[in-house]
Amino acid sequence: MAEITAATVKELRERTGAGMMDCKKALAENGGDMEASVDWLRAKGLAAAAKKAGRTAAEGLVGVAVDGTKGAVVEVNSETDFVAKNEQFQEFVREVSKLALGAGGDVEALKTAAYPGGGSVEEKLTDNIATIGENQSLRRTAVLEVGEGAVVSYVHNAAAPNMGKIGVLVALESAAPAETLQALGKQIAMHIAAANPLALNGDDLDTDLMAREKAIAMEKAAESGKPANIVEKMVEGTMAKFRKENALLSQLFVMDNKTPVADVVAQAGNEAGSPITLKAYQRFQLGEGIEKAESDFAAEVAAASGVPQPVA
């Protein structure tokens, strides 16, 4: 059984919005397991359903680059936001984003690519670490491409042109005019940045995630005390709602909050006189999935003195 501390109670409370006593009980009931405690609180109706995007804890920049019908996005991490504002670091992100267009979404291939001015991307990164004086890493990359149409990029919270905290690529397959695709792609990319869909279609949602959501829905429905056939319908309704709200094409467009994204794309195609297919998208948010330990000075002092931290 994992130790239940004030820090774990605080983390669970921040992740779920549940009351402190409910968080303590959830951790006690689940042996201190954080994920199981989140599910327990949700099943009891004590926490809001939340997407598992991970805590955004790393610093650095997400960069994008587009060349015709191909686009690339990269994430380069640093230890502090101060370095993300450094011109040398930004220049590296800018160049690597362009080089990523030829790496096919393979971060290892990108690291071995020739960097302008000599050496490889990885060697240039090592040099930057030495000269800037802070650890940095090329974490991930992705590439989207269409045969005909456009790949449109968007950066949210831009720190410099084509780089910021969130980078989005949208791939539109169509013979429609370029200006139509650019305008539509930009709006959809802004929607993706804000709404954070988990998949393009409902059928593409992660099977493990869906199984977890169904288990929570079943437990909540069963506690209603209603007959089994009604419980089954309740679960089906909950899962249908989850698919609709988390798949891009069925999400309500943030621009009007009433039209499904699929209908927005279809309407744009009708107006342009050429069908438009939203083929794929990529959304990189800086640091998602990376957890960085937060320094608690009081806790460090207590630990150093050998005094245990009580659960508040």
Tell me the domain boundaries of the chain: 1-55+291-312, 59-199+262-285
Class in CATH terms, 59-199+262-285: alpha beta
**Measured between alpha carbons, how far is 125 from 290 in angstroms, rounded to an integer?**
20
Instruction: Name the nearest CA neighbour of 167 among 237, 97, 83, 239.
Output: 97
Confidence of residue 307 (pLDDT cuts 50, 70, 90): very low
Q: List, in sequence order, every residue forming a beta bridge with 141; answer none if it has no partner.
A: 74
Do residues 135 and 78 lie in contact, with contact meaning Cβ atoms separated by under 8 Å? yes
pLDDT of residue 244: 93
The pLDDT of residue 48 is above 70 = no
Q: What is the structure's pLDDT at 20?
A: 81
Phi, psi dihedrals of residue 212, rounded to the nearest 5°: -65, -45
Question: In angstroms, rounded to a whole number, what is the distance separating the alpha carbons of residues 51 and 106?
Answer: 26
φ and ψ at residue 77, rounded to 5 degrees: -100, 150
Amino acid 131: pLDDT:
87
- Better-scored residue on pLDDT, 289 or 150: 150
Cα 88 from Cα 109, distance rounded (Å): 22
Please name which of 60, 77, 71, 56 lies closest in space to residue 139, comparing C-alpha atoms: 77
Q: What is the pLDDT of residue 192?
A: 97
Matching fold, domains 1-55+291-312 and 59-199+262-285: no
Is the pLDDT assigned to residue 301 strictly greater than 70?
no
**Residue 65 Cα distances to 5, 8, 120, angstroms:** 45, 40, 19
Tell me if residue 15 falls in helix, strand or coil.
helix
Least confident of 70-79, 131-140, 285-294: 285-294
| Average model confidence (pLDDT) across the chain | 87
Nearest alpha-carbon partner for 138 in 72, 93, 88, 95: 93
> What is the CATH number that goes with domain 1-55+291-312?
1.10.8.10
CA distance 230 to 42: 20
The angle formed by the CA atoms of residues 82, 83 and 85, to the nearest 5 degrees, is 70
Give the burial string for 173-205 (b: 16+ CB within 10 Å, else e): bbebeeebbeebbebbbbbbbebbbbbbebeeb
pLDDT at 98: 98
Q: Which residue has the higher pLDDT, 44 or 299?
A: 44
Q: 292 pLDDT band (50/70/90 cuts)?
A: low
**Average pLDDT for 6-23:** 84
What the block records as the tokens of 208 is: 């493990």
The confidence score (pLDDT) of residue 201 equals 94
Q: How confident is the model at residue 89 (pLDDT cuts 50, 70, 90)?
A: very high
Of the pLDDT bands very low, low, confident and very high (cuts 50, 70, 90), residue 290 is: confident
Arithmetic mean of pLDDT, 196-215: 92
pLDDT band for position 50 (cuts 50, 70, 90):
very low
pLDDT confidence bin for 247, thresholds 50/70/90: very high
188 has pLDDT over 80: yes
